[in-house]
Amino acid sequence: MRQLEDDKSGNSAPTPAVVRNRRLAKLNRLSADDFFSEASMRKRAPILADQYIGVSTQPELVANSAGEGDMLDRLENQVMLQEKQNEAVRQQQAMREQQEEEEEDDEEEEDDKAVAGQAAGQPQGQPSEEDMAATQENEETLISIMRARFLSGEDSAVNYKDIDNDASLDDDWAAQAENDAQDRYFDDD
């Protein structure tokens, strides 16, 4: 408890535990905003977002994907993004060619499959439930990684010095610190 009071009075630099708690409090506050939205994460970590979510087809996200970091980081991000987009285009072209070949070979069979798919309640061209579940899992993994990066101080878009020295964030975890101190006191008996 004395440590909490010392930190609020500003007498010393925050300890690593206080820094972690303040970052967690800030993370919880930012989670209520759109800090961990796809667009926001893609701006801060475009390569990581591409790996877990896929290449963005939204022009505003592609245009802003290299906005942070030094020139080398931006250049690397842009090159990798371009490579991913080129690969996606190649895959789409290959899929189209394969579909055209299948349509030519099995036109009647394709019609039967489409009718069966629509009868089963899945419109043609819609992703399956498995695909949607995999996409959701990838998005959750990306959010988890981005949260861990935030807590460890690796998010380049965040001013950690301000967060680490913001005593107002202590209120978010002060009640828990008090409970922990009481538990330790009673455990010592």
pTM summary value: 0.55
Q: Which two tokens stand for residue 6?
A: 């010392």
pLDDT per residue as tens digits for the range 66-102: 444 566 666 676 777 667 666 766 776 776 777 677 6
Amino acid at the residue 115: V
Domain span at residue 16? 2-188
Average pLDDT over the chain, rounded to an integer:
75
- Domains identified in the chain, total number: 1
pLDDT per residue as tens digits for the range 114-157: 555 555 555 556 778 888 888 888 889 999 999 999 999 999 88
pLDDT at 158: 92
